[in-house]
């Protein structure tokens, strides 16, 4: 190659490299919908395989029935379980306050109530997830890298706007935002939202319901049981007020 041609070729490569750098710098930040579709959170004892990143825009694409949960057993067979055992509060802005139970029963109650009002979900659900995920421990961490009260993975946390997962206020706000997005995605089906919180939306889509992972099949009924307990305490507090 002649010197003039060599110089021209170098300039061309330089221009292409500059264009790639500019493209990377100006690329738009991922939307919350994209973050929600790709996010997975893992509990301290998560044993299920990593979920694939699947773009889930609505539960209608899955053909899911909001009145029942398709529970897939490890053998591959499926059973239809009604979602009526645990009465669910409307997902509009809640009028109840988890702080009314008492801070001794619910750590970070004020932060939970704030997040519940902000995202329009039941504070008892946030408390139940925090209880199951970390026992309300803000310094909790898993071998898989999940952190904080709501056990957020780093990539999930970033997509939710959480810069410090060990900050209870940020972590609870991020976890509540994630839960609210999942509830919307699954038409208010709490069981499917919890399964996706634990194993990822991709796993829920893959199996058409709660994945057959041992951890997830323990996790969903555990959180639903805690939800019922917190809702029962809230109801008792309201009745005696």
Distance CA(53)–CA(206), nearest Å, equals 11
Q: Classify residue 118 by its DSSP letter.
A: H
CB distance 46 to 212 below 8 Å: no
214 in active site: no
* List 133, 214, 215, 239, catalytic entry: 133
Tokens representing 215?
């951890």
CA dihedral 196, 198, 202, 206 (to 10 degrees): -90
How far apart CA 232 and CA 241 sit, in angstroms, is 14
| Paired residues of 71 in beta bridges | 79, 210
229 Cβ contact list (under 8 Å, min separation 6):
128
Contact between residue 72 and residue 195 where contact means Cβ atoms under 8 Å apart:
no
Report, as residue numbers or ranges, the catalytic residues.
133
């Amino acid at each position: 190659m002649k010197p003039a041609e060599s110089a021209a070729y170098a300039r061309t490569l330089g221009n292409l490299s500059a264009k790639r750098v500019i493209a990377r710098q100006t690329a738009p930040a991922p939307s919350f919908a994209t973050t929600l579709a790709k996010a997975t959170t893992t509990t301290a004892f998560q044993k299920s395989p990593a979920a694939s990143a699947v773009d889930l825009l609505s539960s209608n694409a899955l053909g899911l029935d909001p009145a029942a949960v398709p529970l897939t057993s490890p053998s591959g067979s499926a059973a239809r379980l009604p979602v009526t055992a645990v009465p669910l509060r409307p997902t509009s802005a809640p009028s109840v306050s988890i702080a009314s139970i008492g801070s001794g029963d619910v750590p970070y109650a004020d932060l939970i109530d704030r997040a519940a009002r902000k995202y329009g979900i039941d504070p008892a659900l946030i408390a139940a997830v925090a209880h199951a995920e970390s026992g309300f421990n803000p310094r909790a961490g898993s071998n898989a890298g999940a952190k904080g009260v709501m056990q957020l993975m780093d990539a999930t946390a970033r997509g939710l706007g959480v810069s410090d997962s060990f900050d209870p206020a940020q972590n609870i706000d991020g976890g509540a935002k994630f839960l609210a997005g999942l509830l919307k995605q699954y038409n208010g089906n709490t069981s499917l939202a919890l399964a996706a919180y634990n194993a990822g939306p991709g796993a829920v889509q893959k199996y058409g319901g709660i994945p057959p992972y041992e951890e997830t099949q323990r996790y969903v009924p555990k959180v639903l049981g805690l939800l019922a307990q917190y809702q029962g305490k809230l109801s008792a507090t309201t009745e005696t007020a």
